[in-house]
Amino acid sequence: MKILAFVSLFACIALSFPLFDFAPDWPFNAFSLLHGNGHQDRLLKLGPDEYRLASEQEKLNLKRANKRFIDMTEQISIDVAVEQGLVAKPSHSLWQKLFFIGSKQIDTLKKPIPVYNYPKKTQYSSEVKNLYNSIDIDGVRDNLSNFTSFYTRYYKTESGAESAAWLFDQLSNLIAPFKEIKIEKIHHKGWDQFSIIVSIPGEVKDKVVVGAHQDSANLILPNIMRAPGADDDGSGTVTTLESLRIILEAYRTGTYKPHNTLEFHWYSAEEGGLLGSIDVYSRYASAKEVVVGMLQQDMTGYTQGSIDAGVEPHFGLIEDYTSVELNSFIKLIIETYNSIPYHSSECGYACSDHASALENGYPSSFLIESEMKYSNKYIHSVMDTIDRIDFEHVREHVKLTVAFAYELSLAKKLH
């Protein structure tokens, strides 16, 4: 009872001060009861050649410290990781729980990233710009209002599964008139929140993918505390949703039919270490699917950080751990279709779901609302709310997403 009373008191305090991390940064504390056991039974990849074992509590501590990783547990068993020298044999002693497990370089798991012949100039400027008249910012705002009304979209919670069901219903209604367009729930092992894929078939099976993650997290007590996630990544979710709606309008009128298959993805469990997207792209790699380009939209609506710094509103084009060639194509799209520029930025290894595509040998890019240093500091708290969203900035992300999807899905002779 004393523990429960303490946790209740802590939660009340944390609600008033959501940006602070009150949980002790060591594995054995009362809060570990809320996040899973203390066993180091998760295999994390923190860099191209850096692996470690971790508990669920240690994963949360890494997230709080803004240390990015991919949870590879379902892709590489711990036994195989030990056998191949990625990590030392796990031990449940206190001392090994307190320190990093060693890692070493290994080449056998790396997958080469193919280089495609992306267009050097845009081909459909008038068609794409005509579509911009259909952007419905009021509808985008309504969708985000509904999406943030779920108490939390944390992937392990009941409301996280309910938010995925709500999103699936919206998408199902959009594609209902088109029998050839498919929607799929991707169920994952260990949690109920599913990922969603909408696929518009092309003349060839090569895929162009636009993605966002649908989950949210409050890093103080993710299973308990509210996480509206308006910007992270509610904004990317509704940006991608609106982009699909606009593309479908062109598809309905017969003015657009893709050459490459065009897919829209909404990933579960990004906040758990890219769990949903690494599952999706591992399945694609196993099935020898071809993805010629993937664009991630994670946080598309916050401009106040730039404004406060006296910097023009802009896109943040992430240029580390992304495809150089695909980034060049995105720069062309921005210069042709957008009224704001891009600024180059970096976010480190595995900072969003594009890393899962790259990990499996697929060229990917990540576009965020600004340079990382100006991006939303209220994420992962109760303060990531819709009133902080600049919907005209979201409009620019929609314009870019529509243009990227339209131009690249119609591009031929990419190989």
pLDDT digits (tens, 9 = 90+) for 202-211: 999 999 999 9
Instruction: Return the DSSP state at 383.
Output: T
Secondary structure element (H or E) that encloses residue 2, with its range? helix 2-16
Q: Residue 73: which of 287, 321, 272, 223 has the closest Cα?
A: 272
CB neighbourhood size of 79 (10 A): 10
Indicate if 148 and 9 belong to the same structural domain. no
Assess contact for 414 and 258: CB atoms under 8 A: no
The CA–CA distances, whole Å, from 319 to 106, 323, 377 equal: 24, 8, 21
Indicate if 333 and 400 belong to the same structural domain. yes
Supply the range of the domain harboring residue 37. 2-98
Indicate if 256 and 363 belong to the same structural domain. yes
CATH of the domain at 300: 3.40.630.10
**Is residue 105 scored above 50 in pLDDT?**
no
Residue 40 in any domain: the answer is: yes
Q: How confident is the model at residue 39 (pLDDT cuts 50, 70, 90)?
A: confident
The CA–CA distances, whole Å, from 306 to 187, 390, 395 equal: 38, 12, 17
Assess contact for 398 and 242: CB atoms under 8 A: yes
Indicate if 75 and 129 belong to the same structural domain. no
Residue 119 in any domain: the answer is: no
Residue 118 in any domain: the answer is: no
Q: What is the largest CA-CA distance in the chain?
A: 67
Q: Residue 232: which of 362, 94, 375 has the closest Cα?
A: 375
Residue 15 in any domain: the answer is: yes
Return d(Cα 163, Cα 95) in angstroms, integer: 40
Indicate if 250 and 344 belong to the same structural domain. yes
What does pLDDT average to over the chain? Answer: 88
For residue range 343-383, list pLDDT tens digits in order: 999 999 999 999 999 999 999 999 999 999 999 999 999 99
pLDDT, position 28 = 33
The CA–CA distances, whole Å, from 51 to 46, 70, 73, 97, 295 equal: 6, 10, 11, 15, 26
**Total domain count for the chain?**
2
CB neighbourhood size of 199 (10 A): 18
Return d(Cα 355, Cα 362) in angstroms, integer: 9
Of the residues 28, 63, 98, which one is the last residue of a structural domain? 98
Strand partners, 317: 344, 367
Q: What are the residues whose beta carbons fall under 8 Å from the beta carbon of 409, sequence distance 6 or more?
A: 200, 202, 208, 258, 259, 260, 261, 262
Q: Residue 375: which of 310, 301, 319 has the closest Cα?
A: 301
Indicate if 370 and 289 belong to the same structural domain. yes
Indicate if 30 and 132 belong to the same structural domain. no
Return d(Cα 42, Cα 296) in angstroms, integer: 25
Q: What are the residues whose beta carbons fall under 8 Å from the beta carbon of 392, sequence distance 6 or more?
A: 137
Q: Residue 147: which of 166, 161, 172, 168 has the closest Cα?
A: 166
Q: How confident is the model at residue 38 (pLDDT cuts 50, 70, 90)?
A: low
Indicate if 232 and 93 belong to the same structural domain. no
Indicate if 51 and 179 belong to the same structural domain. no
The CA–CA distances, whole Å, from 193 to 63, 249, 250 equal: 20, 29, 31
Does the N-terminal peptide bond of residue 233 adopt cis geometry, omega within 30 degrees of 0? Answer: yes
Mean pLDDT of the 253-268 span: 97
Return d(Cα 24, Cα 22) in angstroms, integer: 6
For residue range 372-402, list pLDDT tens digits in order: 999 999 999 999 999 999 999 999 999 999 9
CA angle 398, 207, 188 (to 5 degrees): 85
The CA–CA distances, whole Å, from 95 to 35, 92, 101 equal: 20, 8, 11
**Is residue 296 scored above 70 in pLDDT?**
yes
Return d(Cα 158, Cα 140) in angstroms, integer: 25
Q: What SS3 class is residue 344? A: strand
Indicate if 90 and 150 belong to the same structural domain. no
pTM check: above 0.85:
yes
Q: Which of 58-67, 156-165, 372-381 has the lowest mean pLDDT?
A: 58-67
Indicate if 84 and 222 belong to the same structural domain. no
Q: What SS3 class is residue 180? A: coil
Q: What are the residues whose beta carbons fall under 8 Å from the beta carbon of 53, sequence distance 6 or more?
A: 40, 41, 42, 43, 44, 78, 87, 90, 101
Instruction: Return the DSSP state at 339.
Output: S
Indicate if 161 and 81 belong to the same structural domain. no
**Is residue 3 scored above 60 in pLDDT?**
no
Task: Report percent pLDDT > 90 for the chain.
Answer: 80
